[in-house]
Structures are given as structure tokens and as C-alpha cells.
Amino acid sequence: MKIAFFSTKPYDKIWFEPMGKEYGFTIHFYEVPFQEETISLARGFDAVCIFVNDYVNARMIQQLYEMEVRAILLRSAGFNHVDVKAAEDKITILRVPSYSPEAVAEFAMGMILTVNRYTHKAYNRTREFNMSLNGLMGVDLYQKTAGIVGTGKIGQAMIRICRGFGMQVLAYDPYPNKELDVEYVSLEQLMAEADLISLHCPLTSETKHIVNRSTIDHMKQGVYLVNTSRGALIDTDALIDGLVAGKFGGVGLDVYEEEEGIFYEDKSGEIMKDENLARLMTFPNVLITSHMGFFTKEAMQAIARVTLDNAYALENGLPLVNKVGTEVVCLS
């Protein structure tokens, strides 16, 4: 099998290159993103492998089909960036449903601890021998209420972490896990009662802007919000208005709804044209990172292994356990 990798970074090659040889695949790495302007690079390949900020619309699906590209391999769990319906009966889509739930959940808690206890600010201060504690006061997480939106594998890992901190846990999921020992409540109740809200759900038409002006109005004063899932779960304009009004104790964003073309790239020498992102950076209680919650050695290795296992299964007519179809409504 010949596979064209797009949006490739040096760290992708660490595992994919040797594993590809292991499977007997021919892999070509492209640094450019996968989009309409670069789709011609897929000609002559059996599959394309793309990342979260690439996209595949209906017209691109048709082009891939005409090029006889058999599969789209996703180096991610989410698939909202691919027109799944257009691909039906034309292109097989295979994803990585679980790589390291703990990696993302641990990172989410790390963001909360940082914005709550201002460790990022303390680090900068003490490097200049400013040992003042003014402006660095946080709150105890112990006995506070954590609201977990989405109880798939990452959400479950987050529940375990929050309980380890002695927190009470409420959960919301349209598809509750009956085997999970957690108190499920309505989204409205969770938003109203949680001191900390952590988003761990896929981006669908139902979850887009699940955090909006109305839900923010119903949140507690001083609530902490963290998003390590998909940027468009939060209405950015509403979030900024809430920050200006002093609603939030702290906000951690590892994702952003307009992150395509910005995250994963070095923009340090450029003027930031995204006004909302630039404004978010000005709030002292907002921490923004570049979609790196998954980024551990264990997770990267697992992503490579499952992605290439998916390709191997397709090539050899084995069951496609990670196939994405139109019947898929949520992430595991």
C-alpha cells in the first residue's frame, strides 16, 4: 500500500517511518496540509493520511474517488473535518478512536491547575527574582464540583482524576454509560452547579457552541472552564463577553474554533490577524495552548500503530473495526 501523509511534522516520522517499513508500506510525507489546493498530491496513492486541521469536503471526496484513492486514514479520533456522508460507498474512512485518554485528561487537569494557581505567571516572575504573591491566589479544588461533558474514554479518565482531587463529579452525556459509577444530570444542571466544567465530547451539529451565551449565563460566578476537545464547542464571542464581565475564574483552551492554519505552526514572526484569538491572549486568567493535549510519547506511538493497523486491515480484507460511517454519532 502507498500512503500519502499530509500536515507532517518531524515528530510524526519518529514512529510512522519505522512502523511503515515494518508493515511493508510505501509512505510519502508531505508537510503541506490536505486541502483543495494540495489534493493533486494524492494521485497515485492508495490512501491519504490526514490530521485534525486538514479537511475533506464532498468535492474532494469525488476527486479522491476518481483518483482511485481507497481510504482516508485519520490520525485522530474526531472526524468532523471529513464529509462522511459524501464518502459513503466511495472512500473508506478509518480513525484512531482511542490512543491515550489519560494524556488528554491529564493535560486538561494541568491546564486547570495552571490557570487556578497561576504557575505560568509565577514561573515568569521568579525568573526575574520577583517573589511577590500578589495576584496569584487560587482556590482549593478539594470538595468542589466538577462537571464533565462527555463520558467516553477521555471523560472517564478525567472523572478519575477529579475524584483523586477529592472533587464531587457530575456528568452529562446524551448516551449515558450505565456501567459508569457517576451521577448523570441534565446539561442545564451541570452548567449551573459545576465549579469546574471540562469538555470531552465530539463536535457534532448538536454540540457545536454547547457553551454559548445562555449556558454561560447559567454558570456559577468564578467558574473554571477547560476545553481539550474541539474548538467549536465554545462560542468564542460569547466566551469573550463572559470574560469581560468577570464570569470566569479561569479558562483553559487547548483548542480554538478558528485554529486551522494557526495551530501547529510557528506564527511568531507574523501579525496575528485573528482578532478573537489575539484578544483571548490578553486576559490574565486565560491559558491557550496549541492543541497539544494528546502529545505524549505513548499517545503518538499508539496513534501510529492504530493508523497503520487500520491500513493493514483494509489491504488484507480484515474487519475494519475503526471504520467511520454515517451511523456513527459519538466518539468512544
SS3 assignment, position 106:
helix
Q: Of 259, 260, 265, 315, which one is the catalytic site residue?
A: 259
Q: Verify that 195 and 274 share a domain, yes or no.
A: yes
Q: Verify that 276 and 152 share a domain, yes or no.
A: yes
216-272 per-position pLDDT tens digit: 999 999 999 999 999 999 999 999 999 999 999 999 999 999 999 999 999 999 999
Is there a domain that residue 329 lies in? no
Instruction: Determine contact, residues 307/280, Cβ cutoff 8 Å.
Output: no
DSSP string, 31-51: -S--STTTGGGGTT-SEEEE-
Q: Verify that 94 and 239 share a domain, yes or no.
A: no
Q: What torsion do the CA atoms of 46, 51, 52, 53 make, to the nearest 10 degrees?
A: -100
**Cell numbers describing residue 322:** 475503526
Is there a domain that residue 322 lies in? no
pLDDT at 84: 94
Q: Sorting pLDDT into bands at 50, 70 and 90, what band is 200? A: very high
Is there a domain that residue 331 lies in? no
Q: Verify that 154 and 180 share a domain, yes or no.
A: yes
How far is the C-alpha of 155 from the C-alpha of 200, rounded, in Å?
A: 5
Q: Verify that 278 and 186 share a domain, yes or no.
A: yes
Question: Quick check: 328 pLDDT over 90?
Answer: no
Q: Verify that 188 and 88 share a domain, yes or no.
A: no
Q: Verify that 65 and 116 share a domain, yes or no.
A: no
| Count of structural domains within the chain | 2
- Per the annotation, the verdict on 163 as an active-site residue is no
Which of 253, 270, 288 terminates a domain? The answer is 288
Instruction: Determine contact, residues 252/112, Cβ cutoff 8 Å.
Output: yes
Is there a domain that residue 133 lies in? yes
- Per the annotation, the verdict on 258 as an active-site residue is no
Q: Verify that 95 and 113 share a domain, yes or no.
A: no
- Per the annotation, the verdict on 291 as an active-site residue is yes
**Share of residues in the chain with pLDDT > 90 (%):** 94
Question: Quick check: 327 pLDDT over 90?
Answer: no
Question: Quick check: 331 pLDDT over 50?
Answer: no
Question: Quick check: 78 pLDDT over 90?
Answer: no
Q: Of 95, 209, 230, 257, which one is the catalytic site residue?
A: 230
Is there a domain that residue 327 lies in? no
Q: Verify that 65 and 145 share a domain, yes or no.
A: no
Question: What is the domain extent for residue 133?
Answer: 101-288
Residue 167 CB partners (closer than 8 Å, separation 6+): 141, 142, 143, 144, 145, 146, 196
Q: Verify that 227 and 133 share a domain, yes or no.
A: yes
Is there a domain that residue 25 lies in? yes
pLDDT at 132: 97
pLDDT at 326: 52
Q: Verify that 50 and 87 share a domain, yes or no.
A: yes
Cross-strand bridge partners of residue 172:
149
CATH at 21:
3.40.50.720
Is there a domain that residue 330 lies in? no
How far is the C-alpha of 115 from the C-alpha of 200, rounded, in Å?
A: 19
Distance (Å) of CA 112 to CA 106, 146, 175, 251, 283: 10, 11, 26, 8, 15
Q: Verify that 93 and 181 share a domain, yes or no.
A: no
In this prediction the pTM is 0.90
Question: Quick check: 54 pLDDT over 50?
Answer: yes
Question: Quick check: 108 pLDDT over 60?
Answer: yes
Is there a domain that residue 125 lies in? yes
Q: Of 291, 305, 315, 327, which one is the catalytic site residue?
A: 291
Residue 185 CB partners (closer than 8 Å, separation 6+): 170, 171, 172, 193
Region 295-299: mean pLDDT is 95
Of 326, 331, 329, nearest in space to 89 by CA: 326
Q: Sorting pLDDT into bands at 50, 70 and 90, what band is 330? A: very low
- Rg of the Cα trace of the chain? 21
Q: Where are the alpha helices (DSSP H) in the chain?
A: 10-23, 58-66, 84-87, 101-117, 119-127, 153-164, 187-193, 213-218, 236-244, 275-280, 297-315
